Amino acid sequence: MPAGTLYRGREGMWSWVAHRVTGVLIFFFLFVHVLDTALVRVSPHDYDTVVATYKNPVVNLMEYGLVAAILFHALNGLRVIAVDFWSKGPKYQRQMLWSVVGIWIVLMAGAFYPVLQNTLRTLFGS
How many Å apart are CA 4 and CA 61, to the nearest integer?
44
Q: Which domains does the chain have, with CATH numbers?
A: 11-124 (1.20.1300)
How many Å apart are CA 27 and CA 7, to the nearest integer?
27
**Contact (Cβ atoms closer than 8 angstroms) between residue 95 and residue 51:** no
How many Å apart are CA 38 and CA 6, to the nearest integer?
45
pLDDT in tens, 69-119: 999 999 999 999 999 999 998 899 899 999 999 999 999 999 888 888 888
Closest CA to 58 of 125, 126, 124, 122: 122
89: phi then psi, degrees, rounded to nearest 5: -55, -50
**Contact (Cβ atoms closer than 8 angstroms) between residue 119 and residue 57:** yes
Confidence (pTM): 0.82
**86 backbone φψ class: left, alpha, beta (φ>0; ψ -120 to 50):** beta
pLDDT in tens, 32-75: 999 989 999 999 999 999 889 888 888 888 999 999 999 999 99
